[in-house]
């Protein structure tokens, strides 16, 4: 297919100081959870995006000194020769495809707890930020930087920049955002200094300007110098001669950077979930930057539509289209736009499972792209898959996320696939869930796959087909894959976290009842110990229908796990807007049809609350009847020539949609080979240890 000329502008080169980006697709720095400990995993992950046409590929936060230590959260380092070698793997990989490599040099200031280095955190005036999530809390308060500390940080930045150049980077960052050290100097609430670094805006900007100066002096002839800056808070503060302090900061720094990478201040607004925020949400904060500098500007906004991208450029908002999540969900997004294959774009759905990987301290996972992070470990590629050595007939029962992904990948491998679902549409759990408040974008998980499956001549798809053992034996495929999903139960637990049995009353509901259109009679008590989105979103849904709802959870917050996906603050806001009463740290212990008994998780004190119905959002168990029935008829199954029966997705082990997609993909990659094949283990680059060598020799 030919590219639409409207999109030609996206493929123009852009000069960034002494280097030139080959196009306007810019993978901004983003956490990958890979760190220098997984250099090959990281290089392959980033290389895939370069191969897919992203003109610039950046690292995530890369510490310039052990005093910037965010452990146990993952971060990269640029401290020594081994670090240079680890990063060089990525720059070489990116350069192989003609893209530029950028490094986000970073000092965390008071935002890091230096848990491993045990150095007191640095800050302009000894003022920490207020952490409300236990993962970010610590007991170390920062020290106030004296002049020699300031000189040290500037020296580390310059040394980090030189090391970065040696490692092969083309763009070197100064970071003044997201609560980190540069940002702390900009805000008077953190910066109480009375010397030349505090007070007036000119003084508060000085430290960031000096970081830019030392970086330029160190590598400015060879590398572009980028400034990453958060503007949300500053944009809300009136300036003295400009509409806001954000304007004045950019005005003061306009000539000091070769590129402005502009963003919001906190994770929930910077990388917000689609449940609450649409594409291009940063624009009202960053739209002015280009009017105050001649240097190119890059920004993000979960851009997936080429029309939105072109509009950002034509309207003078951005010069480069920044992508973090869109580049994870579809590393080949630029190539697909270039080749006019828009329908094939695997759109980011804004679920933020990728961010949760960073909070979990593991390599990135993606709901839409199961190959993310698996490029080196398992040799997976987002666009290519090995042809099956022995193509066979495969029957997949269940067309939810797991079944759809499995069918797509098996189809690509050349198998003859039959996908059957008893429902009236494909999508499984998505069919209902995407009708819930804020979740419609998630339907792209099904739509993307159905679009590709419909193009395949070796995949047949059947709806309204309730498949049982007899049908499977009659069809006699070579392989059977069961993707039959899970069901929610009415199980309750004790305060010792032990299951105590199902809550038994005709007006006790589960999410499956709501999906089937059985709405509870209000007032309703939602008891949520699943703690991801379902309890919160169903509470919103019921409240929207006019049902009086109380939300109760044994966790400390509503939808407590959504802190991992940046959604938690907005979940609470959404529930408050609907006047939902939220009770935390309580267990549901009884319900008689008129009153529910709640017991405090720690004290055991009880109280009763009036309600007509209870909705339990807790334990999910696999739908295993078909598997068990097939196992019971193993002789008939063998006689029909069925070589294998595999279970995938929620039908194997219930989880998030990302788990189901990954499970479906894994099965399709492994079918005909080894199940649960081990993945390759990466190793950090370290100096050889003479002691180990001699010990090995002695053995």
Active site residues: 180
Q: Exposure string (b/e) for 507-541, b if CB count within 10 Å is 16 or more?
A: ebbbbbbbbeeeebebbbbbbbbbbbbbbbbbbbb
Identify which of residues 348 and 406 has a Cβ nearer to ligand SF4 in the complex: 348
Residue 626 lies near ligand ADP (rule: CB under 6 A): yes
Residue 403 lies near ligand ADP (rule: CB under 6 A): yes
Task: Report the nearest approach of ligand ADP to the CB of residue 623 (Å).
Answer: 6
Residue 650 lies near ligand ADP (rule: CB under 6 A): yes
Identify which of residues 350 and 401 has a Cβ nearer to ligand ADP in the complex: 401
Residue 434 lies near ligand ADP (rule: CB under 6 A): no
Task: Report the nearest approach of ligand ADP to the CB of residue 508 (Å).
Answer: 21
Find the binding residues for ligand ADP in span 213-252 (CB under 6 A).
Answer: none
| 18 to 106, 136, 221, 223, 225: CA distances (angstroms) | 22, 38, 6, 6, 9
Identify which of residues 477 and 664 has a Cβ nearer to ligand SF4 in the complex: 664
Choosing from 422, 505, 600, 612, the residue that interacts with ligand ADP (CB under 6 A) is 422
Task: Report the nearest approach of ligand SF4 to the CB of residue 360 (Å).
Answer: 13
Identify which of residues 168 and 664 has a Cβ nearer to ligand SF4 in the complex: 664
Residue 421 lies near ligand ADP (rule: CB under 6 A): yes
Choosing from 161, 660, 671, 685, the residue that interacts with ligand ADP (CB under 6 A) is 660
The sign of the dihedral angle between the CA atoms of 511, 515, 519, 522 is positive
Q: Which does 36 bind (CB under 5 to 8 A by kind): ligand SF4, ligand ADP, none?
A: none
Residues that bind ligand SF4 (CB under 6 A): 325, 328-329, 348-354, 366-368
Region of 55-63, 148-156, 289-297, 422-430 interacting with ligand ADP (CB under 6 A): 422-430
Identify which of residues 399 and 411 has a Cβ nearer to ligand ADP in the complex: 399
Q: Which does 353 bind (CB under 5 to 8 A by kind): ligand SF4, ligand ADP, none?
A: ligand SF4
Output the furthest CA–CA distance in the chain (Å, rounded). 85
Choosing from 122, 402, 439, 582, the residue that interacts with ligand ADP (CB under 6 A) is 402
Q: Which does 367 bind (CB under 5 to 8 A by kind): ligand ADP, ligand SF4, none?
A: ligand SF4
Choosing from 263, 623, 646, 665, the residue that interacts with ligand ADP (CB under 6 A) is 623
Site map 357..396 versus ligand ADP, x via CB under 6 A: ----------------------------------------
Local structure of residue 105 (DSSP, 8 states): E
Choosing from 74, 121, 399, 535, the residue that interacts with ligand ADP (CB under 6 A) is 399
The count of C-alpha atoms lying within 13 angstroms of the C-alpha of 284, restricted to the half-sphere facing its C-beta, is 6
Asked if residues 349 and 368 have their Cβ atoms less than 8 Å apart, the reply is yes
Task: Report the nearest approach of ligand ADP to the CB of residue 404 (Å).
Answer: 7
Identify which of residues 407 and 445 has a Cβ nearer to ligand SF4 in the complex: 445
CB neighbour class for 464 (10 Å; exposed up to 12, middle 13-18, buried from 19): exposed
Contacts of 635 (CB under 8 A, 6+ apart): none
Task: Report the nearest approach of ligand SF4 to the CB of residue 327 (Å).
Answer: 8
Q: Which does 660 bind (CB under 5 to 8 A by kind): ligand ADP, ligand SF4, none?
A: ligand ADP
- Cα–Cα distance, 370 to 328 (Å, whole number): 10
The sign of the dihedral angle between the CA atoms of 118, 123, 127, 128 is negative
CB neighbour class for 633 (10 Å; exposed up to 12, middle 13-18, buried from 19): middle
- Cα–Cα distance, 231 to 224 (Å, whole number): 21
Q: Which does 538 bind (CB under 5 to 8 A by kind): ligand SF4, ligand ADP, none?
A: none
Choosing from 31, 158, 351, 397, the residue that interacts with ligand ADP (CB under 6 A) is 397
C-alpha dihedral (345, 325, 409, 359), degrees to nearest 10:
-170
- Cα–Cα distance, 317 to 281 (Å, whole number): 12
Q: Which does 351 bind (CB under 5 to 8 A by kind): ligand ADP, ligand SF4, none?
A: ligand SF4
What are the tokens at 475?
A: 């069809």
Residue 649 lies near ligand ADP (rule: CB under 6 A): yes
Identify which of residues 287 and 567 has a Cβ nearer to ligand SF4 in the complex: 567
Contacts of 632 (CB under 8 A, 6+ apart): none
- Cα–Cα distance, 658 to 661 (Å, whole number): 5
572-578 contacts at long range (C-beta below 8 A, 24 or more positions apart): 574/276, 574/437, 574/438, 574/536, 574/540, 575/536, 575/539, 575/540, 575/543, 575/551, 578/539, 578/540, 578/543, 578/544, 578/549
Q: Which does 366 bind (CB under 5 to 8 A by kind): ligand SF4, ligand ADP, none?
A: ligand SF4
Task: Report the nearest approach of ligand SF4 to the CB of residue 381 (Å).
Answer: 16
- Choose among 278, 311, 299, 132: nearest CA to 231: 299
Q: Which does 249 bind (CB under 5 to 8 A by kind): ligand SF4, ligand ADP, none?
A: none
- Cα–Cα distance, 530 to 599 (Å, whole number): 18
- Choose among 333, 399, 402: nearest CA to 370: 402
Q: Which does 651 bind (CB under 5 to 8 A by kind): ligand SF4, ligand ADP, none?
A: ligand ADP
Identify which of residues 28 and 480 has a Cβ nearer to ligand ADP in the complex: 480
Region of 17-25, 159-167, 417-425, 453-461 interacting with ligand ADP (CB under 6 A): 417-425
Q: Which does 421 bind (CB under 5 to 8 A by kind): ligand SF4, ligand ADP, none?
A: ligand ADP
- Choose among 98, 64, 70: nearest CA to 83: 64
- Cα–Cα distance, 248 to 241 (Å, whole number): 8
Local structure of residue 174 (DSSP, 8 states): E
Complete DSSP assignment for 488-536: E--EEE-TTS-EEEE---TTEE-HHHHHTT-PPPSSEEEEE-S-SHHHH
Task: Report the nearest approach of ligand SF4 to the CB of residue 354 (Å).
Answer: 3
Residue 598 phi/psi, 5-degree rounding, is -115, 140
Find the binding residues for ligand ADP in span 460-489 (CB under 6 A).
Answer: 465-467, 483-485
Identify which of residues 219 and 351 has a Cβ nearer to ligand SF4 in the complex: 351
Q: Which does 400 bind (CB under 5 to 8 A by kind): ligand ADP, ligand SF4, none?
A: ligand ADP
Residue 198 lies near ligand ADP (rule: CB under 6 A): no
Beta-bridged to residue 185, according to DSSP, are: none
Contacts of 516 (CB under 8 A, 6+ apart): none
Asked if residues 532 and 561 have their Cβ atoms less than 8 Å apart, the reply is yes
Task: Report the nearest approach of ligand ADP to the CB of residue 440 (Å).
Answer: 16
Residue 128 lies near ligand ADP (rule: CB under 6 A): no
Region of 110-118, 245-253, 530-538, 647-655 interacting with ligand ADP (CB under 6 A): 647-655
| 107 to 76, 121, 366: CA distances (angstroms) | 11, 10, 27
What are the tokens at 604?
A: 């055991």
Residues that bind ligand ADP (CB under 6 A): 397-403, 420-423, 428-429, 465-467, 483-485, 623, 626, 649-651, 660
């Amino acid at each position: 297919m030919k590219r639409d000329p409207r999109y030609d502008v996206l493929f123009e080169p852009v000069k960034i100081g002494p280097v030139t980006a080959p196009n306007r697709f810019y993978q901004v720095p983003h956490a990958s959870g890979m760190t220098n400990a997984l250099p090959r995993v990281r290089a392959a992950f980033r290389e895939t995006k370069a191969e897919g046409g992203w003109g610039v590929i950046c690292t995530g936060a890369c510490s310039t000194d052990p005093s910037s230590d965010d452990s146990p959260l993952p971060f990269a380092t640029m401290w020594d020769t081994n670090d240079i070698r680890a990063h060089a793997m990525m720059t070489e990989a990116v350069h192989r495809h003609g893209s530029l490599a950028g490094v986000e040099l970073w000092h965390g200031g008071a935002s890091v707890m230096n848990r491993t280095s045990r150095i007191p955190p640095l800050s302009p005036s000894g003022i920490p930020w207020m952490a409300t999530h236990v993962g970010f809390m610590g007991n170390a308060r920062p020290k106030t930087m004296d002049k020699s500390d300031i000189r040290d940080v500037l020296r580390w930045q310059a040394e980090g920049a030189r090391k970065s150049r040696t490692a092969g980077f083309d763009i070197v960052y100064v970071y003044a955002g997201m609560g980190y050290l540069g940002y702390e100097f900009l805000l008077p609430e953190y910066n109480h200094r009375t010397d030349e670094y505090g007070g007036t805006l000119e003084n508060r900007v000085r430290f960031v300007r000096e970081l830019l100066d030392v970086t330029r002096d160190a590598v400015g002839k060879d590398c572009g110098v980028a400034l990453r800056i958060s503007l949300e808070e500053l944009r809300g503060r009136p300036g003295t001669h400009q509409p806001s302090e954000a304007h004045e900061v950019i005005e003061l720094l306009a000539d000091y950077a070769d590129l402005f990478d502009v963003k919001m201040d906190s994770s929930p607004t910077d990388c917000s979930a689609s449940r609450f925020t649409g594409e291009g949400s940063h624009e009202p904060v960053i739209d002015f930057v280009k009017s105050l500098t001649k240097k190119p500007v890059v920004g993000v906004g979960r851009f997936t539509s080429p029309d939105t991208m072109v509009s950002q450029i034509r309207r003078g908002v951005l010069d480069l289209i920044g992508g973090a999540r869109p580049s994870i969900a579809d590393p080949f997004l630029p190539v697909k736009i270039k080749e006019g294959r828009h329908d094939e774009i695997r759109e980011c759905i804004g679920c933020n499972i990728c961010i949760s990987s960073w909070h979990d301290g593991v390599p990135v996972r993606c709901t839409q792209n199961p190959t993310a992070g698996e490029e080196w470990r398992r040799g997976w590629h987002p666009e290519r898959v090995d042809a099956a050595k022995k193509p066979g007939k495969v029957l997949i029962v269940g067309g939810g996320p797991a079944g759809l992904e499995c069918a797509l990948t098996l189809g690509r491998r050349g198998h003859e696939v039959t996908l059957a679902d008893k429902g009236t549409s494909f999508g499984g759990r998505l069919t209902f869930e995407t009708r819930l408040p804020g979740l419609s974008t998630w339907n792209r998980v099904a739509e993307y796959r159905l679009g590709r499956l419909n193009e395949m001549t070796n995949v047949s798809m059947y709806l309204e087909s309730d498949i049982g053992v007899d049908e499977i034996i009659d069809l006699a495929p070579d392989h059977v894959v069961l993707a039959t999903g899970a069901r929610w139960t009415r199980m309750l637990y004790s305060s010792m976290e032990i299951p105590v049995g199902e809550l038994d009353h005709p007006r006790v509901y589960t999410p499956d009842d709501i999906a089937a259109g059985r709405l509870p009679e209000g007032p309703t008590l939602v008891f949520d110990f699943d703690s991801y989105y379902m309890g919160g979103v169903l509470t919103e849904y019921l409240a929207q229908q006019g049902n009086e709802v109380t939300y109760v959870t044994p966790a400390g917050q509503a939808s407590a796990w959504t802190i991992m996906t940046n959604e938690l603050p907005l979940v609470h806001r959404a529930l408050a807007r609907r006047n939902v009463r939220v009770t935390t740290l309580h267990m549901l212990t009884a319900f008689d049809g008129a009153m529910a008994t709640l017991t405090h998780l720690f004290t055991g004190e009880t109280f009763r609350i009036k309600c007509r119905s209870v909705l339990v959002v807790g334990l999910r168990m696999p739908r295993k009847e078909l598997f068990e029935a097939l196992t019971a008829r193993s002789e008939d199954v063998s006689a029909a020539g069925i070589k294998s029966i595999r279970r995938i997705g929620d039908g194997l082990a219930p989880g998030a949609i990302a788990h189901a997609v990954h499970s479906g993909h894994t099965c399709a990659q492994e079918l005909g080979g080894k199940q649960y094949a081990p993945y390759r283990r990466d190793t950090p680059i370290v100096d050889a240890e003479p002691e180990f060598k001699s010990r090995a020799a002695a053995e």
